[in-house]
Amino acid sequence: MKTKKKLTLILYFLIPFIAVLLVKYSLRTSNDDYVSVDKKNNETTKELASVEGKMMLPDTVDFIFHVKPILSDRCFLCHGPDEGTREAGLRLDTEEGAFAAIGENLDRYAIVPGDVNKSQMVHRINAAEPEKTMPPLESNLSLTDYEKQILTKWIEQGAVWKEHWAFLPPEKKQVPKVANIEWISNDVDHFILKRLEQEGLQPSEKASKEKLLRKLYFDLTGLPPSLSQIDAFMNDDSKDAYEKIVDKLLASTAYGEHMASSWLDLSRYADTHGYQDDLERVMWPWRDWVISAFNRNLPYNDFVEWQLAGDLLPNATLEQILATGFNRNHKITQEGGVIDEEYRVEYVMDRANTTSKALMGLTMECARCHDHKYDPISQKEFYSFYSFFNKVDEKGRIDYDEIPKPNIKITPKEVKEMLSFINLPDSISEVYPMVMKDGAANRKTYVLNRGVYDAPTDEVEAGTPEVILDYKKSFPKNRLGLSKWLFDEDNPLVSRVAVNRMWQQIFGVGIVATSDDFGNQGDLPSHPNLLDYLAVTFREEGWDMKKMYKRMVMSSAYQQTSKVTPELLELDPDNKLLARSSRSKLSAEMIRDNALAVSGLLVKKVGGPSVKPYQPPGLWAETTSGQGLTKYIPDVGEGQYRRSLYTFWKRTVPPPSLMTFDAPTRDFCEVKRQKTSTPLQALAMLNDPQLIEAAEYLAQRILNQDNLSDKDRVETIFRKITTRLPAEEETNKLLAYLKSAKDSYKPIEDDIENKEIPNKETHAYTVLTSLIFNLDETIIKG
């Protein structure tokens, strides 16, 4: 009897679980995810496809949401924008093409709205004969039954066509009405809550004050709050206590440093040239400008315009020219024997790709060798865009001791007179950062066959992809004109892409999760109206970045707790709906900076030449050819303790402690970092001498304070590192650990001779602090 009951009980739990699993499996489309464990085999999909079809086919099939992702991913490769590989004359990426007559006698149609029988597409996707099936077997692409039914039903329902959302200008809609009006802090919340209410979901409660404060500090400055800052906030009961902190942080220098940090990824900034022997370059004055521009809250349109075309502005200032260093951050080779033009072409490519990815969320580089396979960008258009960046009088290969041209000379005089934001040390009398200058204004641009430097075909003029926005006659055909075009009121991409990336920074994931791809293969926005609202508002407010960040962090959506129920986790694992706050991992820079800051080691100096903190010895030496930067010689003194954005970046051997925590290599533009969890990270957290040193320093400082009990000390350390007081249970665990550390302490032999150190207390507190550094909570915000 008992056994039976047990069995029933197990079944009781198991059946819904199996049901959920079945649904989960069956509901997957083949829309690949990025996480490897998220992949699954097609067989299961096929087996269960019949279930899914019956269960989940939408009442109304929508082109943008249901149909185009399938067409783009499975059909465009042969029936898309690339004329060169288009099969059977059928093109499915334009309305005209999709409904056009096909076949030798032009008597057939792929799609006949409302008529499934006459629609060749339906026959071909369902064809039993392998030679007729679409997509063809050899493409390794296939459609699930669910996808076939979607396409069929769409045709049945009249095959309504819509243009790609991201290429239509954003529209600012009225903020939606919501029921739970008390929850609303600002307009952002209307959009978030509307969606939640439609789902029958509630937003989460507000995060604890400590958690919120910590998250805010990291999101706006990349640094943790100090104990006194925590106390001040905890004791401030005024209504605008939070807002005051927001304003204070936006006004702090650390804000600019933090924002610069991710702009450096996007700008593929580094301190070396990146190819082969990877010689040193001096671009840090440009980095200092970026920090300063953020801190001065230079409007985003100016911020970008100066970087793209500062040199072309009327009466350009030296500062505006310096800003164009943005497009000189690409790699440069000095490898003996390379063909100059081959590499010069690579640099121009890099500029075009970076500009398009960073500012427009487009993968234009796909049109280097042929028309884009997924987005309506022809190869010719790519080279027209490329042409804007093809006028620089530069060398493909530089000599070993050569400072690449064009550059500008900066001496203490320029710094004093007009570039006061540059932190030029007394020891340096001049620097020559690279800048843009169209010294080869007459250089012609040609389409390069297969993208190869020595295969020019048709000449092209500077221009932009037609599908995005016409290039007005009034715009000059140079980088300045390009900037005008980018910031034209009707440009559908630039503002959306910018606010999306800002959102990604604050909320962890963009409203468009693929912040680097707004094209046909990119994700759809989770809150399209919110994206548009923010995009238009950003422009209307004069591209005010601080104001935009403030809007985001002032929202109730931002201020929620990150606690999640199993149900919500099940329903929305990626937290697209924002019924809670995301529990995001700190960036590589934040992890190290946090340890330095809380221990008191951090040197808060802004800008200047990049620094060389500790890194494991030998990493440069073991890969060098003996030329250039052969040996990493760590700085002595403050260079050890600067914020991580100042760490010297050698591209072929990037800083290991940052790389371990998912920093990109800076070989090219990157707008989104990976967020992984690896054993190498665990090892670095446990054993990186910088973190051990920080732990020891913090431990010693706490021990130096008189009249504190172990409990006081443990609580203080914990609070410094995590911003909150430990719960009693946690304190007890930590105290128990402290005791065990003291008990097991054995002075190492060296220490016996060195009488200063044999200190049980220091040892025990150091390992305790190290333990707290290693808590999950420490590397998490929210």
Partner 1 sequence: MEEITKHFINNNRRHFLKKMGLGIGGLAAASLLDPFSSFAGNEAPNLTGLNLPHFAPKAKRVIYLFQSGGPSQLELFDYKPLLQKMRGQDLPDSVRQGQRLTGMTSGQASFPLVGSSYKFDQYGESRAWVSSLMPYTAKVVDELCFIKSMHTEAINHDPAITFFQTGSQQAGRPSIGSWMSYGLGSLNKNLPTFTVLLSRGTGRPFSQPLYSRLWGNGFLSSLHQGVQFRSGKDPVLYLKDPDGMSRSERRNMLDHISELNRKQEEEFGDPEINSRIAQYEMAYRMQTSVPETMDIDKEPEHIIQMYGADALTPGTYAANCLLARRLIEKDVRFVQLYHMGWDQHENLPKQIEKQAKDIDQATAALIMDLKQRGLLEDTLVVWGGEFGRTNYSQGLLTDTNYGRDHHPKCFTMFMAGGGVKPGFTYGETDDFGYNIAKDPVHVHDLQATIMHLMGIDHTKFTYKHQGRRFRLTDVSGHVVKDILT
Tell which positions 237-296 bind partner 1, by CB under 8 A: 274-278
Question: Judged by CB under 8 A, which of 7, 101, 440, 680 binds partner 1?
Answer: 680
* The two structure tokens encoding residue 168: 């239509």
Beta bridge partners of 611: 647
* Minimum CB distance to partner 1 smaller for 331 or for 344: 331
CA nearest neighbour of 267 among 296, 304, 297 = 304
Residues 536-595 that bind partner 1 (CB under 8 A): 562-566, 569-574, 576-577, 583, 585
CB of 688 to partner 1, least distance (A): 5
Residues 477-516 that bind partner 1 (CB under 8 A): 514, 516
* Minimum CB distance to partner 1 smaller for 505 or for 770: 770
DSSP 393-429: ---SB--TTPPPSSB--B-HHHHHHT-TT----TT--
CB of 305 to partner 1, least distance (A): 26
CA nearest neighbour of 650 among 622, 629, 673, 671 = 629
Please tell me whether residue 311 adopts helix, strand or coil conformation.
helix
CB of 559 to partner 1, least distance (A): 16
What is the separation of C-alpha 539 from the centre of its chain, rounded to a whole number of angstroms?
A: 22
Residues 5-24 that bind partner 1 (CB under 8 A): 20-21, 23-24
Q: Is 732 in the site for partner 1 (CB under 8 A)?
A: no
Question: Judged by CB under 8 A, which of 730, 742, 760, 761 binds partner 1?
Answer: 730
CB of 526 to partner 1, least distance (A): 7
CB of 600 to partner 1, least distance (A): 20
Q: Is 66 in the site for partner 1 (CB under 8 A)?
A: yes
Residues 78-107 that bind partner 1 (CB under 8 A): none
CA nearest neighbour of 43 among 127, 145, 152, 150 = 145
Residues 294-333 that bind partner 1 (CB under 8 A): 331, 333
**Which positions ≥6 away from 19 have C-beta within 8 Å?**
none
CA nearest neighbour of 364 among 435, 467, 264 = 467
Instruction: Centre a 10 Å sphere on the Cβ of residue 547 and count the other Cβ atoms it contains.
Output: 14
Q: Number of residues in contact with partner 1, rule: CB under 8 A?
A: 143
- The whole-angstrom separation of Cα 250 and Cα 544 is 12
Q: Is 425 in the site for partner 1 (CB under 8 A)?
A: no
Question: Judged by CB under 8 A, which of 390, 681, 723, 769 binds partner 1?
Answer: 681
* Minimum CB distance to partner 1 smaller for 262 or for 562: 562
CA nearest neighbour of 223 among 232, 236, 231, 213 = 213
Question: Judged by CB under 8 A, which of 65, 446, 453, 614 binds partner 1?
Answer: 65
Q: Is 522 in the site for partner 1 (CB under 8 A)?
A: yes
Please tell me whether residue 481 adopts helix, strand or coil conformation.
helix
Q: Pinpoint the alpha helices (H) of 86-226.
A: 95-98, 120-126, 145-156, 187-198, 209-221
Residues 750-779 that bind partner 1 (CB under 8 A): 750-751, 763, 767, 770-771, 774-777
- The whole-angstrom separation of Cα 273 and Cα 611 is 17
Q: Is 674 in the site for partner 1 (CB under 8 A)?
A: yes
Q: Is 455 in the site for partner 1 (CB under 8 A)?
A: no
* Minimum CB distance to partner 1 smaller for 68 or for 484: 68
Q: Is 733 in the site for partner 1 (CB under 8 A)?
A: yes
Q: Is 28 in the site for partner 1 (CB under 8 A)?
A: yes
Residues 114-153 that bind partner 1 (CB under 8 A): 140
Question: Judged by CB under 8 A, which of 79, 148, 328, 373 binds partner 1?
Answer: 373
Question: Judged by CB under 8 A, which of 10, 14, 15, 40 binds partner 1?
Answer: 40
Is residue 169 within 8 Å of residue 492, measured between CB atoms? yes
* Minimum CB distance to partner 1 smaller for 97 or for 522: 522
Name the pairing type of β-strands 445-448 and 108-109.
Answer: unpaired
Q: Is 528 in the site for partner 1 (CB under 8 A)?
A: yes
Q: State the residue for tokens 């669910």.
A: 146
Residues 599-658 that bind partner 1 (CB under 8 A): 616, 618, 622-627, 651-654, 656
Identity of the amino acid at 49: A
Spell out the SS3 assignment of 596-643: HHHHCCCCCCCCCCCECCCCCCCCCCCCCCCCCCCCCCCCCHHHHHCC
* Minimum CB distance to partner 1 smaller for 22 or for 703: 22
Show the CA angle centred on residue 345, arms to residues 478 and 353, nearest 5°: 65
Query: Segment near partner 1 (CB under 8 A), from 5-13, 126-134, 252-260, 528-536?
Result: 528-536
Question: Judged by CB under 8 A, which of 7, 8, 42, 296 binds partner 1?
Answer: 42
